[in-house]
Homo-oligomer: A and B are copies of this chain.
Amino acid sequence: LCVSAGDFLWLCHLMQYAMTICIVRFQPKDVTVAVPAGALVTEAIHQAGLHVNMPCGGQGRCGRCAVLVEQNGANPGVRRRSSLRLSAADVAQGYALACQSVIEGDGSIVIPPQEKIERRLTSDRTAAAISLPYTYDPGQDQPLRAFFVALSPPTMDDQTDDWARLQRALRQEHGLERVTIGLDGLRKLGRTLRAAEWQVTAIVETDTWDDPDGAARVVDVLAGDRTERLLGAAIDIGTTSNVVYLVDLIRGEVVAEAVDYNGQIVRGEDVISRIIYASKNGNGAGPPDDQRNGLGELQALVLETLNRLLLRAARRVKAEPEEIYRVTAAANSTMTHLFLGLPPESIRLAPFITAVNQPPPVQAGELGLSVHPQASVDCLPGVASYVGADISAGVFSSGLADTDKLTLFLDVGTNGETVLGNQEWMLACACSAGPAFEGAGVGHGMRASAGAIEEVWINSATREPTWRVIGDQPPQGICGSGLISLLAELFITGVLDRSGNFNRQLGTPRLRVGSHGPEYVVAWAAESAHGQDIVLTEVDIDNLLRAKAAIYAGYTVLCQRVGVDPAEVEQVLIGGAFGQYLNVEKAVQIGLLPDLPWERFRFLGNTSARGAALALLSREARQRIAAAAQQMTYLELSADNSFYENFISALFLPHTAMERFPSVAAVMNGQTTTPQGEGVAG
């Protein structure tokens, strides 16, 4: 054995650990485990049968797995390798990232209450994640303002009308030279002024993206001083999932979030079926808001979902939806059309044309969106029929539009939009993944909310599964990250072959033939929340394979088009409903993500909703999203023969060409699952 001095020291270090067993006690559940020194805290937590949220997949990026290490004298027994996302004060108090901290001695660790997924983004920590790259200054960044004015009451010597009196005060006290008001505002103005004894707060939109030099507009006039809080909403209208962020425009923070499936799902799972449904009955030629036609019905369904979410989010901060005075919306082009009641049929027919990529601002009352009726609703700009505002928002909020690194951006939603490029150029396509990864189109699929199985491990000997459920409760179904994890584990443990068929020779009771054909039982009825078996069928697997193959084919075609080897991609930014909770290893194992060093992947969660929130917070962000939309070149895959070839090749696990996935091949050959790169942490 010939080793260098450095390697020798390293080996000694390892051996020292190997000899030491540490006793760690976890609170508040009071569970004690014995682990070898050098183990990660997350490994100890897992061994204890406990759970800590780890949405970034253990990369030390999200800061969500923070635990409190009790300070037992000089040696608390835990060494931090990284404390990203933790403040100095947090560290001083003893907080450590479970995924980035190593156990070196006995100790006691407190696991804080783990929030359910639905509430994760309501914490201050996540609000900070949706912050601008500079200090937020409403006066500078914000087109929506709340101005308090104390008017001089009218007299026989000053018979100035109510509206001119308010205009005069806004000019004199706040420098607003030109101000307009709508009819509804005028209708209540006189009574509000008199009831408030002439002391009022004017909610004013000072400018709009399409008329930055235009007149300011009074959205509402409220009695008294109401400048302490000003709410806006950023909404993301996905084909499958809808998200509402409630944003405090004074402090620049997300204060509440609400998520649910898009109510339109009952009328079709992908945009094409929605477009076809929209033309139903009278070919949509009637009044667009007539619910008897398909378009009117679909618009009503999504508004119903959004209005419910707006109400839920508002109630969480003890507000009424009518106190929301401005809205930004990011959606794919079809969802934008259906939201606005615009006939979408030309999106589906060659040459695939939208009615509008950059809709003008509309007022909420005109749409039927339950916020303040005079609130402006700013639908962010899209690029083309199949690359919408959600992607413009995503390439901005993900940082792709600002980086000089060759970057692949994947929005793993129903439409599978993919962008390759950097701050200089961007090429975009959409590959119709379908809703499988959002939990729809899969028998026991569900959204990533409480009760969803979000990660699965399968014992390679017994083929028995264990799983982690969001909210630490009996499972109701499986969400996107759980499905990817399950698929990968079934494949790696040989339950599934490379074509996605079950190996029915295994003799495990988990494999059986159900009413939908062969299936694997993930949870028995006795374990589940609803008393029924939770299964994954070959039909479900087919849908999942088609979804991952479409995404793989999409980014492969983009790379081929610009002559780039996928291995040259310097970073992969992943957005989408589950992006935040995805396990890279598993996603590579099924061939969804390219086989790159793990540190090149960043999971960003809902980049569309985040982009909408940034556009709501800042004029500049709004302009840069528009610039990104302008900059993107759209590649129509239906006009590209190589897409179909790439799709077919990718319908296997992980791919027909196994050499494209060397790390998976290594695992299959019994090698370690350590990533190719130089380490995950850091």
Chain A positions within 8 Å of B, measured between CB atoms, are 154-156, 158-164, 178, 180-183, 186-187, 189-191, 194, 210-211, 213-215, 285, 288, 340-343, 345-346, 350-360, 362, 366-367, 384-385, 634, 636, 639
| Shortest distance from the beta carbon of A21 to any chain B beta carbon, whole Å | 65
Q: List 6 A-B contacts (CB under 8 A).
A: A155-B351, A162-B354, A162-B355, A183-B340, A183-B367, A190-B345
Q: What chain B residues lie within 8 Å of A355 (beta carbons)?
A: 161-163, 186-187, 189-190
Instruction: Tell whether, in the assembled complex, residue A190 and residue B343 are in contact, meaning their CB atoms are under 8 Å apart.
Output: yes
Which of B162, B211, B351 touches A154 (beta carbons < 8 Å)? B351
How far apart sit A360 and B352, CA to CA, in the bound complex (Å)?
40
Q: Which residue of chain B is the closest to A361 with respect to CB atoms?
A: B180
Q: How near does chain B come to A43, taking the closest CB pair, in angstroms?
A: 52
Q: How far is the CA of A153 from the CA of B360 in the complex (A)?
A: 23
Given known contacts A346-B194, A636-B156, A162 and B353 CB-to-CB distance under 8 angstroms: yes
Check A161–B353 contact: CB distance below 8 A.
yes
Q: Which 10 A-B pairs rank lowest in CB-CB distance, beginning with the nearest?
A: A163-B356, A161-B354, A161-B357, A156-B351, A190-B355, A154-B353, A187-B288, A162-B355, A183-B362, A154-B351
State how many angstroms separate the Cβ of A578 from the closest Cβ of chain B.
31
Chain B: which residue is nearest A341 at the CB level?
B187
Q: How far is the CB of A498 from chain B (nearest CB, A)?
A: 37
Whether the Cβ atoms of A161 and B215 lie closer than 8 Å is no
Number of copies of chain A assembled together: 2
- Whether the pair A358, B164 counts as a contact (CB closer than 8 A) is yes
Q: Is the CB of B154 within 8 A of A360?
A: no
The one of B155, B187, B342 in contact with A342, judged by C-beta atoms closer than 8 angstroms, is B187
Closest residue of B by beta carbon distance from A344: B190
With known contacts A191-B343, A211-B215, A353–B159 Cβ distance under 8 A:
yes
Q: Is the CB of B161 within 8 A of A356?
A: yes
- When distances are taken between beta carbons in the complex, the residues of chain B under 8 Å from A636 are 156, 159
Are B360 and A181 neighbours in the complex by a CB distance under 8 Å?
A: yes
Kindly state the separation between the CA atoms of A342 and B186 in the bound complex, as whole angstroms.
7
Contact at A285–B191, with CB atoms within 8 Å? yes
Q: Is the CB of B358 within 8 A of A190?
A: no
Residues of the B chain whose Cβ atoms lie less than 8 Å from the Cβ of A190: 342-343, 345-346, 353, 355
- A640 shortest CB reach to chain B, Å: 11
A367 to B184, CA, bound (A): 10
* Contact indicator A159/B639 (Cβ below 8 Å): no
Report B-chain residues with C-beta under 8 Å of the C-beta of A158: 351
Please name the residue on chain B nearest to A190 by beta carbon.
B355
Residues of B within 8 A of A350 (CB): 156
Instruction: Name A214's closest neighbour in chain B (CB-CB).
Output: B214
Which B residues lie within 8 Å of A186 (CB)? Answer: 340, 342, 355-356, 359-360
Complex: how many Å from CA A356 to CA B181? 11
**Given B180, B340, B351, B384, which contacts A360 in the complex, CB threshold below 8 Å?**
B180
Beyond A162-B353, A214-B214, 13 extra complex contacts between A and B, CB < 8 Å:
A156-B636, A158-B351, A159-B385, A160-B353, A161-B356, A162-B354, A162-B355, A183-B340, A186-B340, A187-B342, A190-B346, A190-B355, A213-B213
> Which residues on B sit within 8 Å (CB–CB) of A360?
180-183, 186
Q: A215-B210, A355-B189 are in contact. Are A162 and B343 (CB under 8 A)?
A: no
Query: Smallest distance from the beta carbon of A381 to chain B beta carbons, Å?
Result: 10
Q: Do B210 and A366 have beta carbons less than 8 Å apart?
A: no
Nearest residue (CB) in B for A295 is B187
Q: How far is the CA of A182 from the CA of B363 in the complex (A)?
A: 10
Query: What is the CA–CA distance of A178 and B178 in the complex, to the nearest angstrom?
Result: 19
CB-defined contacts of A358 to chain B, threshold 8 Å: 161, 163-164
**A164, A191, A210, A367: residue with the most chain B Cβ atoms closer than 10 Å:** A191
How many Å lie between the Cα of A157 and that of B163 in the bound state? 51
Closest Cβ of chain B to A289, distance in Å, is 9
Q: How far is the CB of A411 from chain B (nearest CB, A)?
A: 20
Q: Which residue, A164, A350, A351, has most C-beta atoms of chain B within 10 A? A: A351
Q: Which residues in B have their C-beta under 8 angstroms from that of A351?
A: 154-156, 158-159
Return chain B residues, CB-CB under 8 Å to A180: 210-211, 360
What B residues does A162 contact at CB under 8 A? 346, 353-356
Say how far A632's CB is from chain B's closest CB, in angstroms. Answer: 12
Smallest distance from the beta carbon of A187 to chain B beta carbons, Å? 5
Distance of A339 from chain B, by nearest CB (Å): 11
Contact of A159 among B178, B215, B341, B634 (CB under 8 A): B634
Residues of chain B lying within 8 A (CB to CB) of residue A156: 350-352, 636, 639
Cα A340 to Cα B187 in complex, Å, equals 8
The residue in A342, A385, A639 that gathers the most chain B C-beta atoms within 10 A of its C-beta is A342
Shortest beta-carbon distance from A17 to chain B in Å:
60
A354 to B159, CA, bound (A): 8
Question: In the complex, A96 Cα to B367 Cα: how many Å?
Answer: 61
**How far in angstroms is the closest Cβ of chain B from A270?**
20
**Set of chain B residues within 8 Å of A215, measured between Cβ atoms:** 210-211, 214
Q: How far is the CB of A183 from chain B (nearest CB, A)?
A: 5
What is the bound-complex CA distance between A471 and B310, given in angstroms?
64
A26 to B288 alpha-carbon distance, docked (Å): 62
Known contacts A183-B340, A346-B190, A360-B180; A211 and B210 CB within 8 A of each other: no
CB-nearest residue of chain B relative to A340? B183
A164 to B385, CA, bound (A): 13
Q: A191–B384 Cα gap in the complex (Å)?
A: 18
Bound: A248/B680 CA distance, A: 75
Q: How far is the CA of A178 from the CA of B358 in the complex (A)?
A: 14
CB distance from A349 to the nearest CB of B (A): 10
Assembled-state Cα–Cα distance A351/B190 (Å): 13
A159 and B214: CB pair below 8 A?
no
Complex Cα gap A340–B163 (Å): 14
How far is it, in angstroms, between the C-alpha of A345 and the C-alpha of B190 when the chains are bound? 9
Of the listed residues A154, A158, A183, the one surrounded by the most CB atoms of chain B closer than 10 A to its CB is A183
A369 to chain B, nearest CB (A): 12
Inter-chain contact B191/A159, CB cutoff 8 Å: no
